[in-house]
Amino acid sequence: MVKYSLVGYDGSEASRRAFQFAIELARCGNGRVRVVSVLQVTEGGADASALMMADSGTRRVQELLEELTAIVPDADRLVDVELIYGSPGDVLLSQVEQHGVDHIVIGHTERGALARWLLGSVSGNVLARAHVPVTVVR
Protein backbone atom coordinates (compact mmCIF):
# COMPACT_ATOMS: atom_id res chain seq x y z
CA MET A 1 0.00 0.00 0.00
CA VAL A 2 1.21 3.48 -0.85
CA LYS A 3 1.92 5.51 2.28
CA TYR A 4 3.85 8.56 1.06
CA SER A 5 3.39 9.90 -2.46
CA LEU A 6 5.45 12.66 -4.02
CA VAL A 7 3.91 15.17 -6.42
CA GLY A 8 5.90 17.58 -8.54
CA TYR A 9 3.75 20.71 -8.62
CA ASP A 10 4.20 23.72 -10.89
CA GLY A 11 0.69 25.18 -10.93
CA SER A 12 -0.13 23.75 -14.36
CA GLU A 13 -3.39 21.93 -15.04
CA ALA A 14 -1.44 18.67 -15.36
CA SER A 15 0.17 19.12 -11.94
CA ARG A 16 -3.21 19.99 -10.41
CA ARG A 17 -4.64 16.72 -11.73
CA ALA A 18 -1.61 14.84 -10.39
CA PHE A 19 -2.09 16.47 -6.99
CA GLN A 20 -5.78 15.54 -6.87
CA PHE A 21 -4.95 11.94 -7.82
CA ALA A 22 -2.31 11.71 -5.10
CA ILE A 23 -4.71 13.12 -2.49
CA GLU A 24 -7.38 10.55 -3.37
CA LEU A 25 -4.78 7.79 -3.17
CA ALA A 26 -3.64 9.05 0.23
CA ARG A 27 -7.20 9.10 1.51
CA CYS A 28 -7.76 5.49 0.42
CA GLY A 29 -4.70 4.22 2.24
CA ASN A 30 -4.34 6.64 5.16
CA GLY A 31 -1.22 8.04 3.54
CA ARG A 32 0.33 11.44 3.03
CA VAL A 33 1.40 13.50 0.05
CA ARG A 34 4.66 15.40 -0.30
CA VAL A 35 4.21 18.31 -2.70
CA VAL A 36 7.41 19.74 -4.11
CA SER A 37 7.56 22.83 -6.28
CA VAL A 38 10.86 23.07 -8.10
CA LEU A 39 12.17 26.41 -9.30
CA GLN A 40 14.99 26.45 -11.79
CA VAL A 41 17.58 29.19 -11.47
CA THR A 42 18.94 30.05 -14.87
CA GLU A 43 20.80 33.31 -14.31
CA GLY A 44 22.85 34.90 -11.57
CA GLY A 45 24.61 31.94 -10.04
CA ALA A 46 24.76 30.89 -6.40
CA ASP A 47 24.56 34.39 -4.90
CA ALA A 48 21.33 35.18 -6.75
CA SER A 49 19.91 31.82 -5.71
CA ALA A 50 20.66 32.45 -2.04
CA LEU A 51 18.98 35.87 -2.15
CA MET A 52 15.93 34.50 -3.93
CA MET A 53 15.58 31.67 -1.43
CA ALA A 54 15.89 33.96 1.59
CA ASP A 55 13.50 36.57 0.22
CA SER A 56 10.68 34.43 -1.13
CA GLY A 57 10.96 30.87 0.17
CA THR A 58 8.73 31.02 3.24
CA ARG A 59 6.15 33.26 1.58
CA ARG A 60 6.01 31.07 -1.54
CA VAL A 61 5.50 27.90 0.54
CA GLN A 62 2.53 29.57 2.27
CA GLU A 63 1.12 30.70 -1.09
CA LEU A 64 1.56 27.18 -2.44
CA LEU A 65 -0.28 25.68 0.52
CA GLU A 66 -3.12 28.18 0.01
CA GLU A 67 -3.28 27.23 -3.68
CA LEU A 68 -3.44 23.53 -2.81
CA THR A 69 -6.20 24.05 -0.24
CA ALA A 70 -8.18 25.97 -2.87
CA ILE A 71 -8.06 22.77 -4.96
CA VAL A 72 -8.64 20.37 -2.04
CA PRO A 73 -10.03 22.15 1.04
CA ASP A 74 -8.54 19.77 3.62
CA ALA A 75 -5.18 19.44 1.85
CA ASP A 76 -3.30 21.00 4.76
CA ARG A 77 -4.07 17.86 6.84
CA LEU A 78 -2.63 15.52 4.21
CA VAL A 79 0.36 17.29 2.68
CA ASP A 80 3.92 18.33 3.35
CA VAL A 81 4.99 21.21 1.10
CA GLU A 82 8.47 22.22 0.07
CA LEU A 83 9.93 24.69 -2.41
CA ILE A 84 13.29 23.65 -3.83
CA TYR A 85 15.61 25.30 -6.34
CA GLY A 86 17.20 22.97 -8.88
CA SER A 87 16.54 20.69 -11.82
CA PRO A 88 13.01 19.22 -11.56
CA GLY A 89 13.87 15.61 -12.39
CA ASP A 90 16.90 15.53 -10.11
CA VAL A 91 15.05 17.20 -7.23
CA LEU A 92 12.06 14.85 -7.45
CA LEU A 93 14.25 11.76 -7.54
CA SER A 94 16.36 12.96 -4.59
CA GLN A 95 13.17 13.37 -2.54
CA VAL A 96 12.47 9.63 -2.73
CA GLU A 97 15.42 8.63 -0.56
CA GLN A 98 15.54 11.77 1.58
CA HIS A 99 11.94 11.44 2.72
CA GLY A 100 11.01 7.77 2.35
CA VAL A 101 8.68 8.36 -0.60
CA ASP A 102 7.22 5.13 -1.96
CA HIS A 103 5.34 6.49 -4.99
CA ILE A 104 5.74 9.41 -7.41
CA VAL A 105 2.83 11.13 -9.15
CA ILE A 106 3.56 13.58 -11.94
CA GLY A 107 1.44 15.39 -14.48
CA HIS A 108 2.10 15.03 -18.17
CA THR A 109 1.99 18.05 -20.44
CA GLU A 110 1.78 17.31 -24.12
CA ARG A 111 4.62 19.04 -25.96
CA GLY A 112 5.83 18.80 -29.48
CA ALA A 113 8.98 16.91 -30.42
CA LEU A 114 11.05 20.11 -30.71
CA ALA A 115 10.05 21.33 -27.23
CA ARG A 116 10.86 17.91 -25.72
CA TRP A 117 14.24 17.92 -27.46
CA LEU A 118 15.07 21.47 -26.34
CA LEU A 119 13.63 21.38 -22.82
CA GLY A 120 13.59 17.69 -22.00
CA SER A 121 10.75 15.91 -20.32
CA VAL A 122 10.53 15.78 -16.54
CA SER A 123 8.13 12.84 -16.67
CA GLY A 124 10.41 10.92 -19.05
CA ASN A 125 13.44 11.64 -16.87
CA VAL A 126 11.67 10.50 -13.71
CA LEU A 127 10.24 7.40 -15.38
CA ALA A 128 13.66 6.38 -16.65
CA ARG A 129 15.45 6.83 -13.34
CA ALA A 130 12.95 6.18 -10.52
CA HIS A 131 13.29 3.17 -8.24
CA VAL A 132 9.72 3.45 -6.92
CA PRO A 133 6.41 3.21 -8.81
CA VAL A 134 5.55 6.27 -10.89
CA THR A 135 2.08 7.32 -12.00
CA VAL A 136 1.84 9.81 -14.86
CA VAL A 137 -1.49 11.61 -14.85
CA ARG A 138 -2.73 12.96 -18.17
Structural domains of the chain in order of their starting residue, each with its CATH number: 4-137 (3.40.50.620)
Report d(CA 39, CA 86) in Å as an integer.
6
pLDDT reported for residue 112: 53
pLDDT reported for residue 123: 79
Please name the amino acid found at residue 2: V
Pairing of strands 4-8, 134-137: unpaired
Contact 108, 136 (CB under 8 A): yes
Please name the amino acid found at residue 105: V
This prediction has a pTM of 0.84
pLDDT per position as a tens digit, 85-127:
888 899 999 999 999 999 999 987 765 554 444 445 777 888 8
Contact 20, 66 (CB under 8 A): no
Which region holds residue 40: left if phi is over 0, alpha if psi is between -120 and 50, else beta?
Answer: beta
